[in-house]
Structure 1
Amino acid sequence: MKKAENIIVGISIGDLNGIGSEVILKTFEDIRMLELCTPVIFANVKILSFIKRNLNSEVALHGIDKLEQLVKGKINVLNVWREGVDINFGQNDENVGKYAIKSFAAATDALKEGLIDVLVTAPINKYNIQSEEFKFPGHTDYLDKELEGNALMLMVQDNLRVGLLTDHVPVNDVAKHLTEKLIFQKIETINLTLKQDFSITKPKIAVLALNPHAGDNGVIGKEDDEILKPAIKKLFDKGIFAFGPYSADGFFGSGQYEKFDAVIATYHDQGLIPFKTLSFGNGVNYTAGLNKIRTSPDHGTAYEIAGKGLADASSFKEAVYLAIDIYHSRNEYLELSKNPLKIKEKQLETKKGA
């Protein structure tokens, strides 16, 4: 397994008019970060130097033209393009969106080829990235196409983990998407993720109901009784500790979520509103279920404060930490899976520590 400083963290630059560059620079102002990994930012060193001067940052950047030139102990910037780009902080700009995707696509290719170990993505604007070449709602959907596996959005903050059965789906279409096949796929994915990426031997997963009061026995919708309950029971019978569906309204406020290793919400806002309320700006978006590791901060471009030096880098820094932690956990899991005896020894260690 690689030593800490040898773990190569690829970073896509995101929307250059947003706060992405700022939170990246602020994260690596702490030189101790270079003891944990070697970062490489997919962008252009001249443009990042311009943004650095604008923010009065003293971070030292090392420009490279190919990944073979990467230097450990430095903040490497891979020149994905050469031409200049007009930066207007806080502005929605289609041209800037094209460069966000150039950075992201190049970083994804490097991840696929094993030239970087993990990927951390800075925020993009989902509107200005759309083009004939890129017709995806965001990072996750593109990665699901490019990498092996089934992508699942998992929000993480310490022991709080919230996944989604459906993500960028209009609320009036959510019920149409809830099928036994989807439920099996998502819960099996998160079960494996908790084992291999978070070192949890026997994960407990809570599933939130679609309807108020879990449908009140069919009075307020039948999906919970007819789709969710039977699917959850089948998964439990297969040895996956899934429980529910639980009424969503009081689940987080009552602290019930603390009894589980992960919570699966049926739709986007049902999961992300309580998560972002509880995570206090330190949450991380992890794309679970893929053969490669990608994390991102849990916030957007924040145009309203871009270029002003006001951005909080906490979530981005946590995204880097989590990517590194998952890298170690996954490698340990793969090593243990080659030796069943070691798995039993680890399970005994876990029981003793409980």
Structure 2
Amino acid sequence: MKGTENIKVGISIGDINGIGCEIILKTFKDPRMLDFCTPVIFASAKTISFQRKQLGIQMNYNGVEKASQAVNGKINIVNVWKEVPKVEFGKETEEGGKYALLSLEAAVQALIKKEIDVLVTAPINKHNIQSDKFKFPGHTDFLAKELKGEALMFMVTDELKVGLFTDHVPVKDVSEHLTPELVKNKIDKVYESLKRDFRIARPKIAVLGLNPHSGDNGVIGQEDDKVLRPVISEAFNKGKLVYGPYAADSFFGSENYKKFDAVLATYHDQGLIPFKTLSFGQGVNFTAGLNAVRTSPDHGTAFEIAGKNEADHHSFKEAVFTGISIFRNRKEHEEISANPLKKHSLKVETKKNS
């Protein structure tokens, strides 16, 4: 198995007018990070040098023309472009979107070619990145297309993991998207991710109801009884520890989530509001369901503090560590699958069935 010091973590810089470069530089100015991975930043040496000087961050780096030339033990910068983009901290500009996409495209291609092992993406602005090449509501859908997989947004910490049946979908359209096929698919994705990516032998999953009080037996909507309950029952009868639907209003406040390895929310804010309330700054956005590992911090471009050296980099740092951990877990899972005699090493972390 590849040692942690050789795991190449590719990094897209996000919007150059946001805090992306700042949180990247703050993370890797600590030389101890090079004991865990080899960072490969997709931008240009000139762009990173400008950002570094503006923020007063002292660090050395190694410029390369492609990711395969990255040197272990150094911060590597792949020169994706030669020119020097105009940086206007805190502003939404066409250039900000252009170079965010150039960085992301180069990083994803390196991931596909296996020149990097893990991709960590800094925040993009979902409006100015839109173009003929990027017509998606965010990273997740773009990566699903490029990596030819069925992606699932999975917000994770050590103590809390929240997946979404629907992510960047308007609230008025959620019920239309919430089909039995989608619910089954997402439950299966979370279940397999917990086993493969987090090495939980028998995961226990909670599903939140769509309507207030999970529909109150059909009084407040039919989706919980007609869509969610049958699929949950089917999964349970097949041996998966899946429970619900639970009334979402009290689920987190009562700390019921602590009894489960993961929670599936029916729509974006139902899952992300409690997740970010409980773990903001420490959470990681992991794209499950793909054949490659991608993580990102749990926040956006933060234009309001860009260029002021005020950004907290801990979520980005956690995204790096989480990506490394998932990459290693997948390798171990593959080894166990190839050699069942090693199965005893799999940690059983299922929480109490209560």
Residue by residue, what CA displacement relative to the aligned partner does 1:200-257 show, whole Å, maximum 9, x if unpaired? 0000000000000010001111110111000110111122211000000000010000
Residue by residue, what CA displacement relative to the aligned partner does 1:258-281 show, whole Å, maximum 9, x if unpaired? 000000000000000000000031
Deviation, structure 1 residue 65: 1.2
Residue identity matched to 2:91 = Q
Residue identity matched to 2:86 = D
Deviation, structure 1 residue 5: 1.1
Residue 346 of structure 1 pairs with residue 339 of structure 2: no
Deviates more, 1:44-53 or 1:68-77: 68-77
Instruction: Give me the whole-angstrom Cα distance separating, in 2, the residues matched to 1:77 and 1:272.
Output: 33
Residue identity matched to 2:218 = G
Instruction: Give me the whole-angstrom Cα distance separating, in 2, the residues matched to 1:40 and 1:340.
Output: 35
SS at match of 1:322: helix
Deviation, structure 1 residue 340: 2.2
Residue 92 of structure 1 pairs with residue 92 of structure 2: yes
SS at match of 1:150: coil
Deviation, structure 1 residue 148: 3.7
In structure 2, the residue matched to 1:28 is: 28
1:126-275 alignment runs, 5 A limit: 126-275=126-275
Deviation, structure 1 residue 290: 0.4
Structure 1 unpaired stretches of 5+ = none
Instruction: Give me the whole-angstrom Cα distance separating, in 2, the residues matched to 1:212 and 1:144.
Output: 31
Deviation, structure 1 residue 133: 1.9
Residue identity matched to 1:171 = V
Residue identity matched to 2:114 = G
Structure 2 unpaired stretches of 5+ = none
RMSD of the alignment, in Å? 1.3
Deviation, structure 1 residue 350: 3.7
Instruction: Give me the whole-angstrom Cα distance separating, in 2, the residues matched to 1:72 and 1:342.
Output: 30
SS at match of 2:185: helix
Residue 308 of structure 1 pairs with residue 293 of structure 2: no
Deviation, structure 1 residue 66: 1.9
Deviation, structure 1 residue 68: 3.2
Instruction: Give me the whole-angstrom Cα distance separating, in 2, the residues matched to 1:350 and 1:228.
Output: 28
Deviation, structure 1 residue 300: 0.2
Residue 50 of structure 1 pairs with residue 62 of structure 2: no
In structure 2, the residue matched to 1:111 is: 111
SS at match of 1:5: helix
Deviates more, 1:161-170 or 1:148-157: 148-157
Instruction: Give me the whole-angstrom Cα distance separating, in 2, the residues matched to 1:280 and 1:22.
Output: 18
Deviates more, 1:143-152 or 1:260-269: 143-152
Instruction: Give me the whole-angstrom Cα distance separating, in 2, the residues matched to 1:126 and 1:280.
Output: 20
Instruction: Give me the whole-angstrom Cα distance separating, in 2, the residues matched to 1:318 and 1:43.
Output: 21
Deviation, structure 1 residue 159: 2.1
Instruction: Give me the whole-angstrom Cα distance separating, in 2, the residues matched to 1:306 and 1:149.
Output: 33
Residue by residue, what CA displacement relative to the aligned partner does 1:17-71 show, whole Å, maximum 9, x if unpaired? 0000000000001111000000000001101101100000002121111223211
TM-score, length-scaled by structure 1: 0.97
Residue 288 of structure 1 pairs with residue 288 of structure 2: yes
SS at match of 1:299: coil
Deviates more, 1:203-212 or 1:333-342: 333-342
Residue by residue, what CA displacement relative to the aligned partner does 1:106-139 show, whole Å, maximum 9, x if unpaired? 1001101111000000000000001112111111
SS at match of 2:289: strand
4+ runs deviating over 6 angstroms: none
Deviation, structure 1 residue 325: 0.4
Instruction: Give me the whole-angstrom Cα distance separating, in 2, the residues matched to 1:179 and 1:235.
Output: 15
Residue identity matched to 1:330 = R
Instruction: Give me the whole-angstrom Cα distance separating, in 1, the residues matched to 2:250 and 2:66.
Output: 52
Residue identity matched to 1:208 = L
Instruction: Give me the whole-angstrom Cα distance separating, in 1, the residues matched to 2:71 and 2:9.
Output: 12
In structure 2, the residue matched to 1:330 is: 330
Instruction: Give me the whole-angstrom Cα distance separating, in 2, the residues matched to 1:233 and 1:158.
Output: 28
Paired residues of 2:200 and 2:348 also in contact (CA < 8 A)? no
Instruction: Give me the whole-angstrom Cα distance separating, in 2, the residues matched to 1:334 and 1:53.
Output: 44
Instruction: Give me the whole-angstrom Cα distance separating, in 2, the residues matched to 1:333 and 1:127.
Output: 38
SS at match of 2:287: strand
Count of residue correspondences: 351
Deviation, structure 1 residue 149: 2.7
Deviates more, 1:212-221 or 1:68-77: 68-77
Residue identity matched to 2:318 = E
Paired residues of 2:119 and 2:294 also in contact (CA < 8 A)? yes
